[in-house]
C-alpha cells in the first residue's frame, strides 16, 4: 500500500486556476466520498487552503491512483486534465510524507512558518476520519505530521514575527499606508483569518467595521474590539468612507464586482482606496483593481511581501528541516514495523495451514495412534514449523524500518503467496 499526494499550490499554479480547485468545508465530505469510491483509492484526506489543494490517498497502484485523482480534479474544476496537469505535483511514500511534514511545519507556506496551517492539516484529517475515509495508513502519516509540525514550532524560532496569512495581510496594508493607526478599515468575513485580521487591526489602533453573512457574529466580534458591524448589503455604501478593505470569506464566487465599487469610488472625491483580498477563491472581482484610485492586492502580492521579510527566519528553517528529517525517519520506521508485524503473522498462519493440511492428508495412517502419540506428532510438527520460522521472523523484526526490511516483506509476499492486503495492527 503506497501513500500518494497529488496537488496544486501557490508555487505551482496561477491564482486563477488555484481558486477553481479550492474545496470549501461544506463540499469536503462529498469530495472525500467521491474519491474513496474510485477504483484505486483505499483511503483519502483532502487539504484545501488559500495556498493549496492537495489530495492524500492510500493506494495499491500508484499510476492508477494518479489517474483517479487527476480525473477528480478535472470534474471539480470542469476542466480537461491537459488544462492543468502541468501544474500538478506528485509525491509518493517517503517523498509524500516529507512533503506533508514540510506543509505542517509551515516551510511550504506563502508565509514561512505560517501558524494557521498546522490547524488546517489537523482539521482536514479530522474531517476524513469523521467521514470514515481515513484508515490506518493515512492516520499514521497525519499523526506523525502533526507531531513534526508541533516540534518545529516548539523547538525553533520559525514561529516568531509574522507567521500567518492574516498577520501578513495587516502588515502589508500598514506597509502600503505607512500606518493603520486611526485608519477606517472594513473587514469582510469573521472566520478564523478574518477574526485574526480584526485583532491585528485593533492592536494597530484602526477604526474597525465588520461585515459578515451572520450579522450576529459580526456584531459580537465588533463589540469585542470597539468597532461596529455593517450589513453585507450596505458594504458598497460603507466603502465610500473607508481607507482600507480587508477581505477573507469562504464565498465560492466574488462578493464585490466592479459595478458594486465604482459608484462608491466616484463618491470618494479622489481619495485612494486600498483593498487586500486574501480569499481563495477571491472575494473581490479583479476588475475592481482597474478603477481609478483603487489599489487591489491579492494572495500573489502577499506572497511577494512575505518573501521580502523572511530573512530573519531562514536559519530557523534550517533547524526545522533537521527536525523534519528526524521525524521522517521515525515515521518510516513505524511504517515498516507495521508492515513487518502482520507479515510475520501471515507467514506463521500460512505455515499452520500447510501443517494442518498435511496432517489431514495422513489422517488415515494416524488413526491407530493413541492420545499420547497424537500429541507427540502435533508437538513435533509444531516444533519444526516454529524452528523453521524463527530465524526469518527475527531477521524481519531487525530489518523493520529499513529499505532491506521493505524488500524482505515484498519477497515473502511473492514467495509464499501471502495476502498483500494484510491489515496492520491498530
The catalytic site residues sit at 50
12/31 Cα distance (integer angstroms):
22
3-state SS class at 352? helix
Contact 208, 187 (CB under 8 A): yes
3-state percent breakdown (helix, strand, coil) of the chain, nearest 5: 60, 15, 30
Contact 160, 81 (CB under 8 A): no
Beta bridge partners of 273: 294
Residue 369, C-alpha cell as written in the block: 495412534
Other CB atoms within a 10 A radius of the CB of residue 56 amount to 30
Contact 87, 43 (CB under 8 A): no
3-state SS class at 420? coil
Question: How many CA atoms, within 13 angstroms, populate the side-chain half-sphere of residue 180?
Answer: 28
Helix axes 403-416, 314-361, angle to 10 degrees: 30
Residue 29, C-alpha cell as written in the block: 465530505
Cis peptide before 281 (omega within 30 of 0): yes
Beta bridge partners of 58: 3, 43
99/51 Cα distance (integer angstroms):
14
322/327 Cα distance (integer angstroms):
9
3-state SS class at 130? helix
Amino acid at each position: 500500500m503506497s501513500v500518494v499526494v497529488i496537488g496544486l499550490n501557490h508555487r505551482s499554479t496561477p491564482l486563477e486556476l488555484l481558486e477553481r480547485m479550492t474545496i470549501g468545508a461544506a463540499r469536503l465530505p462529498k469530495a472525500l466520498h467521491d474519491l474513496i469510491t474510485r477504483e484505486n483509492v483505499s483511503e483519502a484526506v483532502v487539504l484545501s487552503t488559500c495556498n493549496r489543494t492537495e489530495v492524500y490517498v492510500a493506494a495499491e497502484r500508484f499510476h492508477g491512483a494518479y489517474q483517479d485523482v487527476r480525473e477528480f480534479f478535472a470534474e471539480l474544476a470542469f476542466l480537461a486534465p491537459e488544462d492543468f496537469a502541468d501544474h500538478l505535483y506528485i509525491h509518493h511514500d517517503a517523498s509524500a510524507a516529507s512533503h506533508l511534514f514540510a506543509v505542517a511545519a509551515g516551510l511550504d507556506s506563502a508565509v514561512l512558518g505560517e501558524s494557521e496551517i498546522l490547524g488546517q492539516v489537523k482539521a482536514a484529517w479530522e474531517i476524513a476520519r469523521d467521514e470514515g475515509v481515513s484508515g490506518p495508513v493515512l492516520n499514521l502519516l497525519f499523526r506523525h505530521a502533526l507531531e513534526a509540525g508541533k516540534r518545529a514550532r516548539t523547538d525553533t524560532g520559525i514561529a516568531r514575527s509574522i507567521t500567518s496569512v492574516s498577520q501578513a495581510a495587516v502588515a502589508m496594508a500598514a506597509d502600503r499606508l505607512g500606518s493603520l493607526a486611526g485608519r477606517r478599515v472594513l473587514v469582510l468575513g469573521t472566520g478564523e483569518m478574518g477574526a485574526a485580521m480584526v485583532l491585528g487591526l485593533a492592536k494597530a489602533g484602526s477604526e474597525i467595521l465588520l461585515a459578515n453573512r451572520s450579522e450576529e457574529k459580526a456584531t459580537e466580534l465588533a463589540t469585542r474590539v470597539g468597532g461596529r458591524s455593517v450589513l453585507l448589503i450596505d458594504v458598497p455604501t460603507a466603502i465610500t468612507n473607508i481607507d482600507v478593505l480587508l477581505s477573507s470569506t469562504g464565498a465560492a464566487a466574488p462578493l464585490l464586482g466592479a459595478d458594486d465599487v465604482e459608484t462608491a469610488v466616484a463618491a470618494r472625491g479622489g481619495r485612494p482606496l486600498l483593498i487586500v483580498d486574501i480569499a481563495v477563491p477571491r472575494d473581490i472581482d479583479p476588475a475592481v483593481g482597474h478603477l481609478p484610485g483603487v489599489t487591489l492586492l491579492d494572495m500573489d502580492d502577499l506572497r511577494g511581501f512575505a518573501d521580502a521579510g523572511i530573512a530573519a527566519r531562514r536559519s530557523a528553517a534550517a533547524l526545522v528541516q533537521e527536525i523534519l528529517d528526524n521525524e521522517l525517519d521515525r515515521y518510516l520506521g513505524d511504517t515498516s514495523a507495521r508492515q513487518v508485524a502482520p507479515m510475520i503473522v501471515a507467514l506463521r498462519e500460512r505455515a499452520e495451514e500447510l501443517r494442518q493440511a498435511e496432517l489431514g492428508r495422513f489422517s488415515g495412517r494416524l488413526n491407530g495412534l493413541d492420545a499420547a502419540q497424537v500429541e507427540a506428532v502435533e508437538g513435533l510438527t509444531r516444533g519444526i514449523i516454529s524452528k523453521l520460522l524463527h530465524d526469518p521472523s527475527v531477521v524481519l523484526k531487525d530489518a523493520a524500518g529499513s529499505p532491506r526490511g521493505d524488500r524482505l516483506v515484498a519477497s515473502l509476499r511473492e514467495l509464499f503467496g501471502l495476502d498483500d492486503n494484510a491489515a496492520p495492527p491498530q
